[in-house]
Amino acid sequence: TKKIILDTDPGIDDAMAILFAEAHPSIEMLAITTVYGNATIDNATRNALYLKQKFHLKADIVKGTNKPLNRPPVGPTVVVHGESGFGDLVPPSDITEKTDPRPAYQYIIDTVKAQPGEITLVAVGPLTNIALALEAAPEIVDLVKEVVVMGGAFGMNGHRGNVTPYAEANIHDDPHAADIVFCASWPVVIIGLDVTQQSFFTEEYLDRLRDDAGDVGQFIWDVSRYYLRFYSQKVGLKGCHVHDPSAIAYVIDPALFTLRQGPVRVVTDGPAEGHTIQKFDTRTYQNDEWSSMPAQQVGISVKDEELLKLYRQSI
């Protein structure tokens, strides 16, 4: 089994990813660390506590930061995930589960140091908590097993940003944090829109999940109603893309994905702010700072049918 800390901004597809990680026997989810993004930090954390209580998750819930590293706070993505972060659902106010007392970045540092070489960080929200952990304890780059990120848009196959023409939401919310995480010399795998927009949870797929997968299937169906309205009205799809669950799928079965290797940077200002760039060929001839940067892995394709089967079987 792989031990993961899931850093997330729940969030509708975040909930789909959390329940996937919980369901699959090859993942041990030690903690869910929360971050602002789809919802405010308070709502994101409450949503995580709610999932812990409802589905008896063993994972610690740890509250993370409420704002990007060095720019003003960004508001929740109400149009995609609703005011609560869970679409039409509003979790009850009588949640008894409690958060770990530490801030998320400190929890990450402590856990990684206690289990060197054992922990995979899976980040499916803005990368602020991970960057804060790196800044406070740079030595963790040598202690983390792998970092798996859902984020970015590399412009492959015509897939560009979803917030702006160039930027994907998680990177858009904190491009500086993303640049720090991608430039660090630890192994990073980035599953961006180029890949996540290749697979779809259709209405029929979600209906089947509701019919066959008990309380978890029913919850995924309920929480996804708002999301499907957004997709139908704004994206023109009868279903939704498989964003955050794809990062979990990578942890379970990396062979589902084809990856491309090379250093990655993030544009931190201007019209392409939040855009992710990978140097993947040798045709750029200038001997600049790219040559000395760590090579990371970027997803370029996914066996979508197999991913959908894996998700369904796990749930």
Question: Does the bond joining 151 to the residue before it have cis omega, within 30 degrees of 0?
Answer: no
User: In whole angstroms, how close is the CB of 162 to ligand BDR at the nearest point?
Assistant: 5
Residues in 193-252 that interact with Ca ion by CB under 5 A? 244
Residues in 236-265 that interact with ligand BDR by CB under 6 A? 243-244
Residue 201, token pair as written in the block: 């949870």
Euclidean distance between CA atoms 236 and 229, whole angstroms:
10
What 3-state class would DSSP assign to 108? helix
Residues in 219-238 that interact with ligand BDR by CB under 6 A? none
Residue 188, token pair as written in the block: 């990073």
Euclidean distance between CA atoms 24 and 215, whole angstroms:
16
Token pair 């979803």 is at which residue? 162
Q: Pick one of 2, 7, 14, 133: the residue that binds ligand BDR (CB under 6 A).
A: 14
CB 248 within 8 A of CB 20: yes
Binding mask 73-102 for ligand BDR (x = CB under 6 A): ----x--x----------------------
Q: How far from chain centre, in Å, is Cα 284?
A: 31
Instruction: Please say which residue, 22 or 244, places its beta carbon nearer to ligand BDR.
Output: 244
Is residue 56 part of the annotated active site? The answer reads no
What burial class does residue 18 get, using C-beta atoms within 10 Å of its C-beta: 0-12 exposed, 13-18 middle, 19+ buried? buried
Instruction: Please say which residue, 44 or 109, places its beta carbon nearer to ligand BDR.
Output: 44
User: In whole angstroms, how close is the CB of 150 to ligand BDR at the nearest point?
Assistant: 5
Instruction: Please say which residue, 143 or 251, places its beta carbon nearer to ligand BDR.
Output: 251
Q: Active-site residue among 159, 241, 243, 275?
A: 243
Residue 69, token pair as written in the block: 């590293």
What are the residue numbers of the active site?
243
Footprint of ligand BDR (CB under 6 A) = 11, 13-14, 38, 77, 80, 124-125, 150, 162, 168-170, 243-244
Footprint of Ca ion (CB under 5 A) = 9, 11, 14, 124-125, 244
